[in-house]
Amino acid sequence: MTETNETTNMQDQIKQTVTDNQVVLFMKGNANFPQCGFSGRAVQILQALETEFVTVDVLSNDAVRQGIKDYSNWPTIPQLYVKGEFLGGSDIMTEMYESGELKDALSA
Question: For position 74, what pLDDT does the model report?
Answer: 95
1, pLDDT greater than 60 = no
38 within some domain: no
Question: For position 27, what pLDDT does the model report?
Answer: 98
42 within some domain: no
Domain boundaries, position 69: 58-108
2 within some domain: no
11 within some domain: no
CATH number, domain at 78? 3.40.30.10
Amino acid at 91: D
32 within some domain: no
Question: 13-35 burial by CB neighbour count: b if 16+ within 10 A, else e?
Answer: bbeebbeebebbbbbbbbbeebe
What tens digit of pLDDT does each residue of 14-31 get? 999 999 999 999 999 999
95 within some domain: yes
What tens digit of pLDDT does each residue of 60-106 get? 999 999 999 999 999 999 999 999 999 999 999 999 999 999 999 99
76 within some domain: yes
Q: Count of domains in the chain?
A: 1
Confidence at 4, pLDDT banded by 50, 70, 90: low
80 φ/ψ angles, rounded to the nearest 5 degrees: -110, 130
25 within some domain: no
Is pTM beyond 0.85? Reply is yes
